[in-house]
Amino acid sequence: MDEAAKKTALRMIPYGIYVLTARGPDGALAAATVNWVTQTSFKPPLLAVGVKADSSAHALVKAAKAFALNILGKGQEKLAFNFFKPAVAGEGTISGERFRPGATGAPLLESAPAFVECRVVNALEGGDHTLFLAEVVEAGVAKGPAGRPDDATLWMRELGDGVFYGG
């Protein structure tokens, strides 16, 4: 296989940017920027999300069997970069971002324009990521988008010419 062609072809898949958050059974918090997300079912509403297997977020999602996807909007590049590194929990904050606990206990970032909370129904471990299949159990929109909802989402390409994930 031509490695350069494979890398380029895989990087041509468009990705939105999300901050996945979770609270473990022991109260520990984790957050990570993720982008391998897709809806897989209408009834029940199911999502699939790929989470790096060696991340603290992975361990907490696996233990809690729940997470939130905080959907980032246009202009929130700094927020995305903030969660590229391990999250730091504070009093009512995670990596300096204010949050409130959601129905599953996962942190909901106050600055995110929308969120979905999910309960894990299955997991497929493979390679360096686990694919979590999860049912949406709660959702919220802080401010409705003007126009198409998918046009309001921060996209990977908006993080800069040198930022890629995958390939």
Report the top-level CATH class of 16-142+149-159.
mainly beta
**Residue 82: which pLDDT band, with cuts at 50, 70 and 90?**
very high
- Mean of the pLDDT values across residues 69-87? 92
pTM to 2 decimal places: 0.91
Sheet-wide strand order for 89-90: 89-90, 93-94, 97-101, 107-109
What whole-number distance in Å separates Cα of residue 114 and Cα of residue 82?
18
What whole-number distance in Å separates Cα of residue 62 and Cα of residue 92?
23
Per domain, the residue ranges of the chain are: 16-142+149-159
What whole-number distance in Å separates Cα of residue 149 and Cα of residue 101?
24
What residues form DSSP beta bridges with 46? 41, 135
